[in-house]
Structure 1
Amino acid sequence: MRKSKRNPREVAEIVAIQALSFVAGDPERLGRFLAESGIGPETLRGAAADPRFLASVLDFVMRDDATVKAFAEASQLHPTNVAAAHQALNDPDWERDVP
């Protein structure tokens, strides 16, 4: 059986969604994120479909080494994978394929 290949952007979005779940799992961390992003808890789920919002989630996680390490450990990722996802989502040369 052949493995499906995902592009780096798709993988980065998956990592960012995991990061959002990680942030949401800690009320204090979530409060800081919501205050910084200006988004309300009622619109959080809808915002998760926006790649720019997902990039902001990884921006928030990447700002603090302890947060990056905690997220990486909780997600069973290496911190460099988190950094690569952050870079992929913040790549200005990438454009989403639209059918």
Structure 2
Amino acid sequence: MRNGNAAQTEKKPEEANESSTCRITDKSLSTVARFENEALGLKQSRICREKKKLEEENTENFFKDPFQFARQLFQQPRSGTLAAQKEELKNLFHKAYSDP
């Protein structure tokens, strides 16, 4: 019976290796947390620099030409091409916008 208990308490070599290699200590967790915190801080500082640079460029462009800057704010990008003929458009606009 003693041999049966010994067999149950002994670990297989594969299980022993897994538990020893997968051990996580408090020190390693704190190191990982510190690196993640530093990475987050670097990301936030990069985003802050990019926003500041964009704000400076916008301010500079506004003072160069305020009207052009305002036009660029509200201007939609052009999409597609006009497939109608010039005569069709002329007739359509004449019917729509001329006095009867």
Q: TM-score range by the shorter chain?
A: under 0.3
Larger of the two Rg values belongs to structure: 2
**Greater fraction helix:** 2
TM-score (norm 1): 0.22
